[in-house]
């Protein structure tokens, strides 16, 4: 296959595996003999024979442990190598020889194209915990196809209005290796069933698994969609009960003393918690007012990822001109506003398309954005000139600009009060309270917190601000702006969110473990201002959001700590 075909093949097979893992999987029998092309995608048919599967079987299966979702990912990597080179990653030989090589030898990836070599190596790790999930693979291949190669089977995007035509520039297609750092988590969320893709000759098109709609930033021309290869010869072979007892015994015996995965390790993998949704590295996070969608800013390439919270699946990737620094959703959920270094972008949520871009002054850096309660105005923090600008939400024209600091002051974050009459802008040395109608400063309060974050309680009575990192959360009066309390954390805080009731605050705590891969989320009772609980997201978290019903907390790392969004049940903190 050509590189373009390999990327499409990888995206199709990864999506099939992700859907199967959530329904009838794990499959445990993926090999070149069982992967077939349908009219619209690819799928895995019957199990292979021993001779056909031995070079594609994960080490844990070869050593006698049960198959799980990561076993399919290993097979995916081996099949990808075969598709790219015409040979499996462990060469040729008897079934026993191939099983032993999978247990003890590194795969041969020399002939694999450079753009696919790392993703194949990630999949072929002998440690299941180090392999990406099928959904993560689907995301990596999907991003590689975007923006100039929309995924086969995705819904064509609605053309943007004339005002946005030619308003952005687009980068060249990316190779798989450059789009996403492999994630270290290995479990997807418990999601509703997604049916595997079936041949168009035997099943309606509606049976195909749902896939993200990839919507690139507008261009003057977009190449036609990559066509799915024509229907290939189906190969169906039987295997009996995976392997013969003799081969399993031989492989298991040889594996002793060769650091094979233990049964305990397999159990740990199977019970990984909480659920994690695979996404690109996250730069910003916002939730729709009805809680049905999560919007994530992505760094490479600049995108906004859309997650459906009912199914916890990625439904769209929308290209934007620059890396999003901040996101905000209009009160009616119709628009997402994206601020980046010197651009304000507007996404129409009904079609998930970029419908407008306004380029700000060259010497500006748009850091954060908030929307007025009636949806008519935007409040935008400029981190380079330390100003807050009010813009008309429809025309995006500036109506007022207020300077807040001098020298090296930076406006890190902005938040509206519950009644919409005031908003707070936080800077390294102070918090300013402003009148929302006129953008005039009414109160300035001293505050030490570089790279800060700020949230407002549901009733607007209190405002919570914290530097990143910091061991303290500062509490301010929402009416006067005066400092009223300081909450001492049980660690170093990195992000904030408030429950819809305002009773609880969630604070992302930096990890203290040796590998630094994950931290806690401290739960603080806002009435007593004491820590009353801790959550384990399984990720190093910075961005937090709670659904409007207070049932779930979404937590994502900073852009420098990889991708993924952890989903946690927090109903006990209503």
- Angstrom distance (rounded) from CA 453 to CA 471: 13
DSSP E strand boundaries for 108-251: 213-215
The neighbouring-strand residues paired with 496 are: 507
The neighbouring-strand residues paired with 294 are: 287, 307
- H-type alpha helices, 63-191: 69-85, 95-104, 114-123, 134-145, 176-179
Alpha carbon separation from 557 to 58, 184, 197, 405, 507 (Å, rounded): 30, 12, 32, 30, 13
Mean pLDDT estimate for the chain:
75
Phi, psi at residue 263, to the nearest 5°?
-60, -35
- Angstrom distance (rounded) from CA 182 to CA 438: 46
Please report how many Cα atoms fall inside a 13 Å half-sphere around the Cα of residue 436, on the Cβ side: 23
The neighbouring-strand residues paired with 462 are: 477
- H-type alpha helices, 256-350: 263-270
H helices, E strands: number in the chain: 10, 29
Domains and CATH numbers, the chain: 3-146+171-199+230-270 (1.10.510.10), 449-574 (2.130.10.10)
Contact 327, 304 (CB under 8 A): yes
3-class DSSP assignment, residue 459: coil
pTM of the predicted protein model: 0.58
- Angstrom distance (rounded) from CA 479 to CA 421: 10
Q: Which residues contact residue 406 at a Cβ distance below 8 angstroms, ignoring those fewer than 6 apart?
A: 386
Helix axes 114-123, 3-21, angle to 10 degrees: 20
- Give the pLDDT of the chain (574 residues) as one tens digit per residue: 777 888 889 988 988 887 765 555 556 678 888 888 877 788 887 666 666 778 898 888 776 677 788 888 999 999 999 999 999 999 988 877 887 788 888 999 999 998 889 999 999 998 888 898 887 888 788 776 654 333 333 333 333 333 333 333 332 233 444 333 332 222 222 222 222 322 333 333 333 334 455 455 543 322 222 222 222 222 222 222 333 333 333 333 233 323 333 333 332 322 335 788 888 889 999 999 999 999 999 887 788 999 999 999 888 888 888 899 999 999 999 999 999 988 899 999 999 999 988 887 666 789 999 999 999 999 999 888 889 999 999 999 999 999 988 766 788 899 999 888 999 999 888 899 999 988 899 999 998 877 789 999 988 899 999 988 889 999 999 999 999 999 999 889 989 999 999 999 999 998 876 666 678 999 999 999 999 999 999 888 999 999 999 999 999 998 888 788 999 999 999 8
- Angstrom distance (rounded) from CA 324 to CA 333: 18
């Amino acid at each position: 296959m050509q590189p373009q075909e390999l990327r499409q093949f990888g995206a199709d097979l990864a999506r099939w595996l992700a859907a199967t893992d959530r329904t009838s999987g794990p499959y445990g029998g993926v090999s070149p003999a069982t992967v077939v092309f349908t009219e619209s995608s690819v799928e895995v048919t019957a199990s292979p024979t021993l001779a056909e599967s031995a070079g594609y079987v994960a080490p844990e299966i070869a050593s006698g442990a049960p198959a799980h979702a990561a076993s399919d990912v290993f097979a995916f990597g081996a099949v990808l190598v075969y598709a790219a080179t015409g040979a499996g990653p462990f060469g040729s030989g008897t079934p026993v020889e191939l099983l032993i090589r999978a247990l003890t030898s590194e795969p041969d990836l020399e002939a694999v194209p450079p753009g696919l070599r790392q993703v194949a190596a990630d999949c072929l790790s002998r440690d299941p915990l180090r392999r990406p999930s099928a959904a993560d693979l689907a995301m990596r291949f999907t991003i590689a196809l975007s923006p100039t190669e929309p995924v086969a089977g995705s819904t064509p995007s609605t053309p943007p209005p004339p005002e946005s035509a030619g308003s952005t520039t687009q980068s060249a297609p990316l190779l798989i290796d450059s789009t996403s750092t492999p994630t270290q988590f290995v479990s997807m969320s418990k999601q509703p069933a997604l049916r595997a893709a079936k041949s168009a000759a035997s099943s309606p098109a509606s049976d195909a698994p749902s896939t993200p709609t990839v919507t690139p930033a507008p261009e003057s021309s977009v190449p036609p969609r990559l066509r799915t290869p024509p229907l290939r010869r189906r190969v169906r072979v039987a295997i009996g009960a995976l392997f013969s007892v003799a081969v399993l015994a031989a492989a298991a015996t040889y594996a002793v003393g060769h650091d094979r995965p233990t049964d305990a390790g397999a159990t740990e993998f199977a019970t990984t918690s909480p659920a994690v949704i695979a996404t690109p590295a996250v730069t910003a996070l916002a939730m729709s007012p009805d809680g049905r969608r999560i919007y994530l800013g992505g760094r490479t390439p600049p995108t906004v990822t859309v997650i459906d919270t009912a199914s916890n699946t990625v439904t769209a990737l929308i290209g934007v001109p620059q890396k999003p620094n901040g996101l905000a959703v209009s009160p009616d959920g119709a628009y997402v506003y994206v601020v980046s270094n010197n651009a304000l972008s507007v996404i129409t949520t009904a079609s998930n398309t970029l419908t407008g871009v306004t380029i700000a002054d060259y010497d500006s850096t748009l850091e954060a954005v908030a929307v007025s309660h009636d949806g008519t105005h935007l409040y935008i923090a400029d981190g380079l000139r330390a100003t807050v600008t009010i813009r008309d939400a429809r025309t995006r024209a500036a109506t007022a600009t207020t300077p807040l600091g001098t020298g090296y002051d930076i406006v890190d974050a902005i938040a509206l009060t519950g009644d919409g009459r005031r908003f707070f802008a936080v800077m390294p040395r102070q918090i300013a309270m402003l009148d929302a109608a006129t953008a005039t400063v009414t109160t300035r309060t001293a505050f030490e917190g570089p790279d800060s974050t700020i949230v407002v309680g549901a009733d607007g009575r209190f405002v919570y601000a914290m530097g990143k990192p910091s061991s303290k959360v500062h509490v301010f009066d929402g009416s006067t702006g005066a400092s009223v309390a300081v909450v001492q954390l049980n660690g170093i805080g990195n992000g904030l969110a408030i429950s819809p009731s305002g009773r609880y605050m969630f604070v992302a705590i930096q990890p203290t473990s040796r590998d630094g891969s994950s931290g806690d989320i401290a739960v603080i009772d806002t009435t007593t201002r004491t820590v009353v609980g801790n959550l384990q997201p399984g990720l190093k978290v910075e961005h937090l959001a709670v659904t409007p019903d207070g049932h779930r907390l979404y937590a994502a790392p900073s852009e420098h700590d990889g991708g993924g969004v952890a989903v946690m049940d927090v109903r006990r903190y209503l």
